[in-house]
A and B are shown apart, each in its own frame.
Chain A
């Protein structure tokens, strides 16, 4: 494991104390090409290249969205470019607690304690990844199964469920296994 920077260690300490949101009973969506539907819960492709909350060759992440509309928007960016898509819904059946980085109080703490502007989490596009990666490294190496994060896409009027869920599959498995 690459050593964490001082900033990342500070984020880790902050994450330990951050309020948790229980996912049990909650549903999350993923939009993917119908032909790839069987791979919807694979995070592997994000291991070879970075994404908003994963770092290449270090750890991967699986991304889900709290609503069907947001999952589709994250996939398509509002464009009609894609092969036929499937909107897949997954429900948490067991207790799973994660920090919610979209929560206003949590964001205030992020800014007040660490000096991280919550707007850094929603800088669009690939250039925004460098701002989210310290949080990703701190979260992954803390063993968190993931966290809720705000979407770059502005909240639409009365649309409920405008959060994304970042899942660190390796940490989920880690919680089930004991290293011998």
Chain B
């Protein structure tokens, strides 16, 4: 699944784990940090097209939720950039770098909501 071809932020039926990485533009070390799971687990999740184990993980479900907060607001191909750009709503912090922390993930969710509703900075 090439990123440039992501036409929407609709969650696919299969390969959700792979899709989240691509939608948010996260590489393996970053998603490892975001989910706080080891590399071998990540590889198992990547190989499982049904995402059974990944979907049992609460933090993974929150990452899926992030994509849905952006859906309809941020263009699919721009979400990756949004994740990698210092964000004024986050005091200049970069979303992709703080989602591994509970507080950070909460703030990224908040920043996405604020963006979606056009709340003032």
Contact indicator B74/A125 (Cβ below 8 Å): no
Contact indicator A75/B118 (Cβ below 8 Å): yes
A61 to chain B, nearest CB (A): 8
Segment among A9-17, A31-39, A105-113, A169-177 that sits at the interface with chain B: A31-39
- Give how many A residues have a beta carbon under 8 Å from the other chain's beta carbons: 32
Segment among A43-51, A93-101, A137-145 that sits at the interface with chain B: A43-51
Contact indicator B120/A152 (Cβ below 8 Å): yes
Contact indicator B118/A126 (Cβ below 8 Å): no
Contact indicator B120/A164 (Cβ below 8 Å): yes
For chain A, what secondary structure do more than half of its interface residues adopt (helix, strand, loop), or is it mixed? mixed
Contact indicator B73/A82 (Cβ below 8 Å): yes
Contact indicator A31/B118 (Cβ below 8 Å): yes
How far, in angstroms, from A95 to B96 measured CA to CA in the complex?
Answer: 46
| A51 and B114 contact, Cβ closer than 8 Å, known pairs A83-B75, A151-B120, A152-B120 | yes
Contact indicator B81/A81 (Cβ below 8 Å): yes
How far, in angstroms, from A151 to B88 measured CA to CA in the complex?
Answer: 13
- Give how many B residues have a beta carbon under 8 Å from the other chain's beta carbons: 27
| A46 and B121 contact, Cβ closer than 8 Å, known pairs A125-B89, A125-B90 | no
Segment among B25-33, B52-60, B105-113 that sits at the interface with chain A: B105-113
- Chain B residues with Cβ under 8 A from A77's Cβ? 87-89, 115, 121
Q: Closest residue to A30 on the B side, CB-wise?
A: B118
Total number of residue pairs linking A and B with CB closer than 8 Å: 85
From 64 to 120 in chain B, residues with beta carbon under 8 angstroms from any chain A beta carbon are 72-75, 78-79, 81-82, 85, 87-92, 107, 110-111, 113-120
For chain B, what secondary structure do more than half of its interface residues adopt (helix, strand, loop), or is it mixed? helix
- Chain B residues with Cβ under 8 A from A50's Cβ? 110
- Chain A residues with Cβ under 8 A from B107's Cβ? 126
- Chain A residues with Cβ under 8 A from B85's Cβ? 79
B104 to chain A, nearest CB (A): 11
| A83 and B119 contact, Cβ closer than 8 Å, known pairs A77-B89, A125-B88 | no
Q: Closest residue to B111 on the A side, CB-wise?
A: A126
Cross-chain contact of B91 among A31, A35, A125, A164 (Cβ < 8 A)? A125
- Chain A residues with Cβ under 8 A from B90's Cβ? 125-126
A146 to chain B, nearest CB (A): 13
Cross-chain contact of B121 among A32, A33, A125 (Cβ < 8 A)? A125
Taking beta carbons and an 8 Å cutoff, which residues of B are in contact with A? Answer: 72-75, 78-79, 81-82, 85, 87-92, 107, 110-111, 113-121
Q: Could you show 22 A-B contacts with beta carbons less than 8 Å apart?
A: A50-B110, A51-B120, A52-B120, A74-B120, A74-B121, A75-B115, A75-B118, A77-B87, A77-B121, A79-B82, A79-B85, A81-B75, A81-B78, A81-B82, A81-B115, A124-B89, A125-B89, A126-B90, A126-B114, A152-B120, A152-B121, A153-B121
